[in-house]
Amino acid sequence: MIILALFGIGIAASVVSWYNGKRTAEVERQIAELEAQWSAILAADARERQRMALDYVAAFRRLLDVELAARQEIGLELANALEQARAVIVNRFGSAENDSFLQAVRDIELALARVDAERAYQVIVRAALPTNIGDVILEDALPRPEDLNLPPGFPMLGGMLDLSAARHESAVESWHMHVDQTTRVQSSRGYALSYLDERALGDVATKPMVIAVDHELRTATLSYGLAPLFEASQIDGAEPLTAKVVQGKEGHAELKVEQISLTLQHSDTSGRRQLRIGESLRVYPGIWLLQDFLDASKANSRKALPVRMSARVIATRTVWSPIHLAVSEAQLGQVVDAHQALEEQGRGHEKWDLSSREDGLIAITQGNVTLLVAADIGLQAFVLQSVSYGAPRSWSRQSRCTPNSA
């Protein structure tokens, strides 16, 4: 999410740690204590086990309160970052930077949806904990630290819902020996489910997309038809869609896929001339924000989502797919300082020069700022090594190019 910092959008370290699946040292300590208590409970007799179980539940509740407070803070941070990001979107900037920024904004949208779901789930877990020794039933499984993780089948806005566990539970409750993969599941993890559409005949693999969720009322709305569309937009614009050319309200040719309207980007003027009503056209999705996608999917929506005539990941002499810059938290300040230095010089929108060095590192230079990076195939990114200022040094072996964006 480094590109957010470049636009003045701050993300707290706690959010970054949560996003990367890391827990604080205090939470790890509490989990270790719970594991020790769990082992002691298993070794005790029945009477002592019940007393110890209540102490264990009290410790688990304290851990749960810490996790809930953390998610409350993370949710506020993400909501604030999303508000700032949406304010930036109204400004125009370069196409490659625009794609990278929109990807980061969509990541925030999905992260906020996930933390909301985690918080709702943990509230449910907390409400189910016994509060006195008479409520402790030793035959029931005590909660474990891993039970804090969001389980499969829990609705999350924008997520693809795994209904396999809910479908199995439904079969058990109705005493069916066979799990019918075509039966519509009515609930999952305590959430009542409604459906915008039906799954395609014979398709048992597709997971529906959660297009609406109310964690207070515990309801969720699902769509099978929209799921592959949103997933296609997340595969770096490389997954084609088959759109139908239809006649719009004003008589002009329009693109449709499912109930969503599409529009060719301004650069695809030749594609507009190819539109003939009744035909099908292969197009590639742009960067679709979750909220834009949900708005476009509503009945009678006038919002159209951008598509291209060619895959976004294909580099040409004028358009390059963005290469991400991997930066540690300790280096964020250096990158922000470099960006501000270029802005002050009025050179922030110039092309970057790439120079290869004999030691295998790459120097990316703009004006008097040079980022020294190493290419990491696994991360599919440039990993920042250092930032320097002044005239670029002359490398003994150079291979220079000037893409629109590094």
Banded model confidence at residue 5, pLDDT cuts 50, 70, 90 = low
Tokens read off for 324:
């991400």
Return the CATH architecture of domain 237-308. Beta Barrel (2.40)
For 105-124, the pLDDT digits (tens) are 899 999 999 999 999 999 99
Which tokens sit at 304? Answer: 């159209």
For residue 105, give Cα distances in angstroms to 5, 200, 334, 402. 12, 31, 22, 27
Helix axes 46-89, 25-43, angle to 10 degrees: 160
Residues 176-198, mean pLDDT to the nearest whole number:
78
Residue 119's pLDDT is: 96
Q: Considering only the C-alpha atoms of the chain, give the largest distance between any 2 of them, rounded to a whole number of Å.
A: 81
Most confident of 26-30, 105-109, 163-167, 388-392: 105-109
Where residue 182 falls (left for φ over 0; alpha for ψ -120 to 50; beta otherwise) is alpha
What is the average per-residue pLDDT within 202-225? Answer: 88
The pLDDT-based confidence of 253 (bands split at 50, 70, 90) is: confident
Q: Would you say residue 36 has pLDDT above 90?
A: no
| Residue ranges of domains in the chain | 2-148, 164-225, 237-308, 324-389
pLDDT in tens, 226-251: 998 898 888 766 778 899 988 766 66
**Mean pLDDT for the chain overall:** 78
CA distance 53 to 138: 8
Which range among 79-88, 91-100, 184-193, 395-404 shows the weakest confidence by mean pLDDT?
395-404
Burial class (CB in 10 A: 0-12, 13-18, 19+), 117: buried
Residue-wise pLDDT tens digits, 45-97: 666 777 778 888 889 999 999 999 999 999 999 999 898 888 877 665 544 45
pTM (predicted TM-score): 0.68
